[in-house]
C-alpha cells in the first residue's frame, strides 16, 4: 500500500476532494471558505476545483445548519463547516431538535446525509469562546453520530465514511492537530464509524481516549514504560456508535482502566465509558475506573492558566499510577 505524509488538514481536504469528485451531490457550506480555503486551510484547492460547490454564507450558524438540513432533505449531501465547535450553541435547535430527529419522526421516509464539522479544543490561547470540547452534548442526542479523529489516516477514512452515511454525523477535529502529520494510504479506503483502534498495545492498564488526548496518552505510555508499566492506548475515533467490544477486550486483559479526555470532567464522555465498564465489566476490574479531564472552569486565555486547566501528560502518568496503586 502506497502512503503519503499528510497533515490532518491535508487529509481532510484529500478526503473531501475524492468524495466531491465521486458524488456531485456533495457540497461544502460555511463562513469564509473560498478566500483562504477555510480558516485552517482545511479545504485546500477545493473552492477553485469545485466552483459553486464551496459556498460562503452570512455569519449565522442557524442559517448554515438550516440550509444544510434543507439541502439534505432534498437529496444533497452537505458538509457543514461551523468554524469553531463553540458556535454549535447558536444552532442547537436546528441540530438537536430538527436534524437529529427528522428521520425518526418521518418514519424513515426522509434521511439526513449531512456532516456537521467543527474544530474544537484548547491549547492555542483562543479564550473561553473558542476552546471548548462539547462532544458529550451530542452523544446525548439520539439520531446523531459523533466522530473525533486524531491521526491523519483516521481523518481521511472517517470523513469519507461520514460523508457517505445517510444519517447526520457530527465531526470534531482538534485545532492543535491540523498541522500534525502522519502516513495516509493513497488507495481508496474507508474506516467504519463505530470502530476504535489500539494505538499502543500493553498489558498493565488500558488508557481509553480520543482526539488530541491520544497523543498525550501515547507520550504518557512512553514515560510509564520506563518505569516498567505497559499501558495499552485505545483511540475510540467514534464516540457514537461506540466500539465497546474493543474496550471490553482490552479491559478483560489489563483489569485496570484510565479514561482521558480534554472536555471538562463533570458530565464528560468519560463518565459514560466509566459507567458502562462498571455495569458490564465490574468483575474484571482490579481497581476503580479513573477519569482525567479538564478542570470545571471556562478555558482561560492565559497560556499558563490554560495549561493548568487542561490535562497534561503528567496528569495521565499520575492517573495511571493511581489506578495501579504505584
Catalytic residue among 130, 151, 174, 256: 130
Q: Cα(first)–Cα(last) distance of the chain, in Å?
A: 42
Give the sign of the dihedral formed by CA 51, CA 52, CA 54, CA 55: positive
**How many C-beta atoms surround the C-beta of residue 226 within 10 A?**
7
Q: Find the helix or strand (DSSP H, E) in which 140 lies.
A: none
For the stretch 44-53, contacts whose Cβ atoms lie closer than 8 Å and that sit 24 or more positions apart, written own/partner, are: 44/9, 44/10, 44/13, 45/13, 45/17, 46/13, 46/16, 46/17, 46/20, 49/17, 50/20, 53/20, 53/26, 53/27, 53/28
Catalytic residue among 19, 61, 135, 262: 61
10 carries an active-site annotation: no
130 carries an active-site annotation: yes
**Distances 221 to 158, 212, 218, 314 between C-alpha atoms, Å:** 25, 15, 5, 11
Q: Which residues are part of the catalytic machinery?
A: 61, 130
Amino acid at each position: 500500500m502506497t502512503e503519503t505524509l499528510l497533515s490532518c488538514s491535508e487529509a481532510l481536504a484529500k478526503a473531501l476532494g475524492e468524495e466531491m469528485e465521486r458524488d456531485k451531490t456533495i457540497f461544502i457550506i460555511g463562513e469564509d471558505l473560498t478566500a483562504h480555503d477555510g480558516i485552517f486551510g482545511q479545504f485546500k484547492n477545493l473552492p477553485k476545483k469545485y466552483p459553486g460547490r464551496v459556498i460562503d454564507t452570512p455569519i449565522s450558524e442557524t442559517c448554515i445548519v438550516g440550509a444544510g438540513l434543507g439541502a439534505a432533505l432534498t437529496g444533497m449531501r452537505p458538509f457543514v463547516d461551523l468554524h469553531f465547535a463553540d458556535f454549535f450553541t447558536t444552532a442547537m435547535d436546528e441540530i438537536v431538535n430538527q436534524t437529529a430527529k427528522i428521520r425518526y419522526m418521518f418514519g424513515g421516509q426522509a434521511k439526513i446525509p449531512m456532516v456537521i464539522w467543527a474544530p474544537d479544543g484548547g491549547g492555542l490561547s483562543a479564550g473561553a469562546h473558542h476552546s471548548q470540547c462539547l462532544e458529550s452534548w451530542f452523544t446525548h442526542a439520539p439520531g446523531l453520530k459523533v466522530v473525533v479523529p486524531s491521526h491523519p489516516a483516521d481523518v481521511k477514512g472517517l470523513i469519507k465514511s461520514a460523508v457517505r452515511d445517510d444519517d447526520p454525523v457530527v465531526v470534531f477535529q482538534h485545532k492543535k492537530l491540523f498541522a500534525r502529520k502522519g502516513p495516509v494510504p493513497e488507495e481508496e479506503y474507508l474506516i467504519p464509524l463505530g470502530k476504535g483502534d489500539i494505538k499502543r498495545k500493553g498489558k498493565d492498564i488500558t488508557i481509553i481516549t480520543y482526539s488530541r488526548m491520544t497523543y498525550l496518552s501515547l507520550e504518557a505510555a512512553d514515560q510509564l514504560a520506563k518505569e516498567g508499566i505497559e499501558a495499552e492506548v485505545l483511540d475510540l475515533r467514534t464516540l457514537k456508535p461506540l466500539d465497546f467490544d474493543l474496550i471490553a477486550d482490552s479491559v478483560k486483559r489489563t483489569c485496570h482502566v484510565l479514561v482521558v479526555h480534554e472536555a471538562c470532567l463533570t458530565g464528560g464522555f468519560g463518565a459514560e465509558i466509566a459507567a458502562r465498564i462498571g455495569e458490564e465489566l465490574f468483575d474484571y476490574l482490579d481497581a476503580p475506573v479513573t477519569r482525567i479531564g479538564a478542570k470545571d472552569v471556562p478555558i482561560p486565555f492565559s497560556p499558563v492558566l490554560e495549561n493548568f486547566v487542561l490535562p497534561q501528560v503528567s496528569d495521565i502518568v499520575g492517573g495511571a499510577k493511581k489506578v495501579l496503586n504505584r
